[in-house]
């Protein structure tokens, strides 16, 4: 015959008390957090950096980029061209072997040659001034050392190594009228 197991009520009441005693501290922590959050949220650290308040009529800057002057990249001539070339080709460290600047007309190219350069490592600083990009190609007798389309308004420095004495040919091409400047100096 099957047997039925009987359990005492005292056994279940102890288990319920234990569960209740574990929940009580957790409930107290949650209640404290809810009550303390608004008080702690109002805390603020402030300090005096010595500056006064901004005037009420101070302009509000919404765009961090300053618009570029559209005339900044327009080609120039004469003394302005010389001043621009000095600005974009600052004094170089090392021995300068060749510096040139000038203008190239729309759709044209201009090729110049350097004197014979001894073997070594050189920095080539390139710059242009135009509404569009200007292409620079620098070749020795065998192949192109630099072949790039430069965004005007920036300067670019390339490093090349000549394994033997060479004469470099510099070709500048432009789709619009442009100014160019470059410097070849030994590192």
First to last CA, the chain: 105
What is the residue-wise DSSP string for 10-66? HHHHHHHHHHHHHHHHHHHHHHHHHHHHHHHHT-------S--PPPTTPPPP--SSP
Q: Taking residues 161-169, what's their average pLDDT? A: 92
* pLDDT tens digits, one per residue of 129-151: 998 899 999 999 888 999 999 99
Q: Taking residues 111-135, what's their average pLDDT? A: 92
Environment class of 84 (CB within 10 Å of its CB; exposed 0-12, middle 13-18, buried 19+): middle
Please give the model's pTM, rounded to 2 decimal places: 0.62
Residue 155 is predicted with a pLDDT of 86
Helix, strand, coil percentages in the chain from 3-state DSSP, rounded to 5:
25, 35, 45
Position 93 confidence tier, pLDDT thresholds 50, 70, 90: confident
């Amino acid at each position: 015959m099957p047997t039925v197991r009987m359990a005492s009520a005292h056994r279940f009441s102890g288990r319920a008390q234990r569960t209740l005693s574990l929940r009580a501290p957790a409930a107290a922590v949650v209640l404290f957090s809810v009550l303390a959050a608004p008080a702690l949220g109002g805390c603020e650290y402030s300090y005096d950096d010595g500056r006064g308040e901004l005037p009420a009529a101070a302009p509000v800057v919404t765009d961090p980029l300053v618009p570029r002057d559209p005339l900044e990249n327009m080609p120039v001539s004469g003394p302005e061209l010389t001043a621009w070339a000095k600005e974009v080709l600052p004094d170089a460290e090392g021995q300068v072997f060749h510096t040139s600047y000038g203008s190239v007309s729309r759709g044209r190219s201009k090729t110049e040659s350097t004197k014979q350069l001894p073997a070594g490592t050189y920095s080539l600083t390139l710059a242009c001034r135009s509404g569009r990009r200007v292409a620079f190609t620098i070749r020795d007798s065998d192949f192109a050392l630099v072949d790039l389309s430069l965004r005007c308004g920036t300067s670019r420095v390339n490093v090349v190594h000549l394994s033997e004495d060479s004469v470099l040919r510099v070709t500048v091409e432009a789709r619009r009228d442009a100014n160019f400047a470059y410097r070849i100096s030994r590192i």
